[in-house]
Chain A
Amino acid sequence: MSRVRGLLFVLLFGAAQFNAQNLSFVTCPIVRDTKTVPCWLAEYKGETYYLGNQGGVAQDFYPPQLNHEVLVEGVVAEGPRVCGGIPLRTVKTSVFLEINRACNTILPAEDAIEAPQSPPRPPIGDAASWVRSDGPADSTLYFDFDNDFLSLHTATTVQRLAQYFQQSKASEIRIAAFRGSSKLSNGDVLTEQRDIAAARAAKVRDILVGLGVPSTALKVQVVTDVRTPDGINDPWGRKVTLSVKP
Chain B
Amino acid sequence: MKKLGGIVSSLLCLAGLGGLVTPAQVSQPQFQWFQAGSGVELSRELTFANASGRLGILNADGPVNTKGHPFFEPLGVNGRACVTCHQPSNAMSLAVDTIRERWRATNGKDPLFAGIDGSDNPSLPQDLETSHSLLLNRGLFRVGLPWPPAQNSTPEFTLEVVGDPTGVNRDPVWGLKSAKPTVSVFRRPRPAANLKYVLAPDNGPFNVKLGVLLDKDPATGKPVSMNMMADARATTLATQAESAYRDHQEGKGQLRSDQVDRIIAFESQVYAAQVFDNGAKDLVEAGGPGGLGPLNLLREAAGVLNTPAKPVFLTFDAWKASTEFRRSVARGNELFLNRTFWVKDVAHINSIGLGNPAKRACAVCHNAVMSGMDRAPGWVDLGTTNYPTWTEPKTWNEAGELPVFKLSCRADARPHPYLGRVIYTSDPGRALVTGKCADIGAITMGQFRGLAARAPYFANGSARNLRELVDYYDRRFDMRLTTQEKEDLINFLGVL
* A residues neighboring B (CB under 8 Å): 31, 33, 37-38, 40, 54-57, 62-68, 97-99, 106, 149-152, 154-156, 159, 203, 206-207, 210-211
Given contacts A38-B359, A99-B415, contact A57 B354 (CB under 8 A): yes
Q: Name the distance in Å between A202's Cβ and chain B's nearest Cβ.
A: 11
The interface bits of chain B over 408-437 (1 if a CB of A lies within 8 angstroms of the residue's CB, else 0) are 000000110111100000000000000000
> How many A-B pairs fall under 8 Å by CB?
86
Q: Which of B205, B208, B356, B417 touches A57 (beta carbons < 8 Å)?
A: B208
Measured between beta carbons, the chain B residues less than 8 angstroms from A150 are 211-212
Q: In terms of DSSP, what is the predominant structure of the interface of chain B? A: loop
Top 3 nearest A-B pairs (CB, nearest first) are A63-B355, A150-B211, A65-B356
On chain B, the residues within 8 Å of A57 by CB distance are 208, 352-354
> In the bound complex, how far is the Cα of B344 from the Cα of A62, in angstroms?
16
B223 and chain A: residue at smallest CB distance: A210
Q: Is the CB of A64 within 8 A of B213?
A: no
| Residues of chain B whose beta carbon lies under 8 Å from any beta carbon of chain A | 204-206, 208, 210-213, 216, 342, 344-345, 350-359, 414-415, 417-420
A155 to B209, CA, bound (A): 11
Q: Which residues of A contact B212 (CB under 8 A)?
A: 150, 155, 203, 206-207
**A210/B357 in contact, CB under 8 A:** no
Determine if A66 and B352 form an interchain contact, defined as CB atoms under 8 angstroms apart: no
Contact status A97-B355, CB under 8 Å: no
Given A57-B352, A207-B212, A211-B213, also A98-B357 (CB < 8 A): no
Closest A residue to B355 by CB, please name it. A63
Cβ–Cβ < 8 Å partners of B216 in chain A:
210
| Between-chain CB contacts (< 8 Å), 12 pairs | A54-B359, A57-B353, A62-B355, A63-B356, A67-B417, A67-B418, A98-B415, A99-B415, A152-B353, A206-B212, A210-B205, A211-B205
What is the CA–CA distance of A65 and B342 in the complex, to the nearest angstrom?
A: 13
From B208, B358, B417, B420, A152 is in contact (CB under 8 Å) with B208
Judge whether A207 and B213 touch: CB under 8 Å: yes
Q: Are B353 and A151 in contact (CB under 8 A)?
A: yes
Q: Which of B345, B355, B358 has the most CB of A within 10 A?
A: B355
Known: A65-B417, A99-B418, A149-B211. 6 other contacts (CB 8 A): A57-B353, A57-B354, A63-B353, A106-B342, A203-B212, A206-B213
* Interface contact A31-B355, CB-CB below 8 Å: yes
A99-B418, A99-B420 known; A54+B354 contact, CB < 8 A = yes
B206 to chain A: closest residue by CB: A155
- Do A63 and B354 touch (CB < 8 A)? yes
Q: Given A154-B211, A210-B213, verify A65-B415 contact (CB < 8 Å).
A: no
Q: A97-B415, A207-B213, A210-B213 are in contact. Are A64 and B355 (CB under 8 A)?
A: yes
From residue A121, how far is it (CB to closest CB) to chain B in Å?
13
Contact A66-B420, Cβ < 8 Å, known A33-B359, A54-B355: no
A57 to B202, CA, bound (A): 14
CB-CB under 8 A for A67 and B356, given A97-B415, A106-B342: yes
User: Which residues of A sit under 8 angstroms from B205, Cβ to Cβ?
Assistant: 159, 210-211
**CB of B413 to closest CB in A, whole Å:** 10
What chain B residues lie within 8 Å of A55 (beta carbons)? 354
Q: With both chains docked as a complex, state the minimum distance between the C-beta of B339 and any C-beta of chain A, in angstroms.
A: 15
Question: What's the least CB distance linking B367 to chain A, in Å?
Answer: 11
* Chain A residue, CB-CB nearest to B414: A97
Closest to A59 in B: B353
Docked pose: A211 CA to B214 CA in angstroms: 11
Distance (Å) between the CB of A85 and the closest chain B CB? 16
The smallest beta-carbon distance between B446 and chain A, in angstroms, is: 23
Q: Report Cα–Cα, A156/B204, bound state, in Å.
A: 9
Q: Is the CB of B204 within 8 A of A159?
A: yes
A203 to B213, CA, bound (A): 10
A56 contacts B418, C-beta separation under 8 Å: no
B211, A151: Cβ atoms closer than 8 Å: yes
Closest A residue by C-beta to B351: A65
